[in-house]
Amino acid sequence: MRPVSRVLLAAACAAVLVLPLSAAASGRYQVRNLGSLGGTSSVGAGINNFGLVTGSSNPPGDQVTHATAWLFGSIFDLGTLGGPNSAVVFPVKNNYGLIAGVAETDRLDPNGESWSCSAFFPSVTGHTCLGVVWEWGHKRVLPTLGGNNGFAAGINDRGQVVGWAETARHDPTCDPRSGQMLQFLPTVWGPDKDQVRALPLLDGDSSGAAVAINNRGQVVGISGDCDQAVGRFTARHAVLWDKGGIVVLGDLGGVAWNTPVAINQHGDVVGFANVPGGATPGSVHEHAFLWTRRDGMRDLGTLPGDTHSQALGINDRGQVVGLSYGGTAGLRAFLWENGVMKDLNTLVAPGYADHLLFANDVDDGGRITGQAVNAEGSVAFAFLAVPDGM
């Protein structure tokens, strides 16, 4: 593999050559698997407008996972902060080669917390985990708010990073069964390297997280209890931070898992939220949503036969991607456009044999990334789906 600095420099140079992106055809997608670092699992989490796919991949043995970038047919291991694992978890929309994610350090957590990162790693290791920015071959560690752990989720073209970070305060709303003890707050780092600030919570809430940011500086995330860091009752409220204020995005009738995931440059937001019902108030029984300032939160429903869905990515043309599940067909990646949700597997050109489990992101040209699995279920790789004619 070539040095990481070369791929990021190539991405930065590509960003200077701003070429018009063709519109996605309404027909088929040419799909290819992007491979792994030697293990049997990888996943594409985000794709920018110049084809840089970011996510994570397992090295041989599948005991750990590393943050990974794919570009121009090559794969690059972005490494860790001295601990076992790292990952890019959410869509990264920076078009200048900057990548935001999380990485474990070589230090064990003094409180024994598992922290948010562990949900995306093969096992709970007990190591502290921090937000990190990979910039042209170099790692920049993002500070916390006085606690031990942090999480970087999104980054815009201005270099502003959003996520969440622990404070030194013990939050009584934490769920002790999850191991979480410290409060965490929605956080913005940058654009200058020494800038870090917490975003406000809704009145009565104690913890929260920021997930995505657009180039206008609009940030989406959650506000609620500490709970299990994060999700469930941390996501009592889906919110938008804009021009110094905080806007409640609403819900679909449930009291938990009201979770924005992505925002486009127009301020349109997608994510998932519980609908009424479910075994318990905190159980997951979610539907994908699209929020716009004009129409509020809209339930996008599910694919036929399913009961659950999540919207995970949106581009500036209003195309939405995600996953639908709960029926006999299992997990299925979807594409929602022009008011219709389609199974992405039905749009794949002949010759591709694997099953598209979920779609995490879509760029402005209509290219989609996520994860696919082979027929035996033994290998799950990141995929790139490119619309015909692009």
CATH of the domain at 118: 2.120.10
C-alpha 282 chain-centroid distance: 21
Mind listing the pLDDT tens digit of every residue in the chain (390 residues)? Answer: 334 444 444 444 444 333 344 444 447 999 999 999 999 999 999 999 999 999 999 999 999 999 999 999 999 999 999 999 999 999 988 999 999 999 999 999 999 999 999 999 999 999 999 999 999 889 999 999 999 999 999 999 999 999 999 999 999 999 988 889 999 999 999 999 889 999 999 999 999 999 999 999 999 999 999 999 999 999 999 999 999 999 999 999 999 999 999 999 999 999 999 999 878 889 999 999 999 999 999 999 999 999 999 999 999 999 999 999 999 999 999 999 999 999 999 999 999 999 999 999 999 999 999 999 999 999 999 999 999 987
Tokens 């690059």 belong to 76
Strand 320-325 to strand 308-314: parallel, antiparallel, or no bridges (unpaired)?
A: antiparallel
Residue 347 lies inside a defined structural domain of this protein: yes
| pLDDT attached to residue 26 | 47
Question: Do 192 and 332 reside in the same domain of the chain?
Answer: no
Q: How far apart are the C-alpha atoms of 44 and 84, rounded to whole Å?
A: 20
With beta carbons less than 8 A apart as the criterion, state whether 372 and 31 touch: yes
Tell me the helix, strand and coil percentages in the chain, rounded to 5. 5, 45, 45
Residue 207 lies inside a defined structural domain of this protein: yes
For the entire predicted model, the pTM comes to 0.94
Question: Do 66 and 184 reside in the same domain of the chain?
Answer: yes
| pLDDT attached to residue 389 | 80
| pLDDT attached to residue 179 | 87
Q: Which residues pair with 386 in a beta bridge?
A: 30
Question: Do 211 and 165 reside in the same domain of the chain?
Answer: yes
C-beta neighbour count of 299 within 10 angstroms: 14
* Nearest by Cα to 332 from 347, 316, 344, 350: 344
Question: Do 132 and 244 reside in the same domain of the chain?
Answer: yes
Question: Do 389 and 342 reside in the same domain of the chain?
Answer: yes
| pLDDT attached to residue 194 | 85
Question: Do 80 and 191 reside in the same domain of the chain?
Answer: yes
Residue 13 lies inside a defined structural domain of this protein: no
Q: Residue 9: helix, strand or coil by DSSP? A: helix
Tokens 């010759």 belong to 351
Q: Which residues pair with 290 in a beta bridge?
A: 270, 298
Question: Do 171 and 303 reside in the same domain of the chain?
Answer: no
Question: Do 162 and 65 reside in the same domain of the chain?
Answer: yes
Residue 158 lies inside a defined structural domain of this protein: yes
**Which residues form the domain of 202?**
45-250
**What domain count does the chain have?**
2
Question: Do 242 and 288 reside in the same domain of the chain?
Answer: no
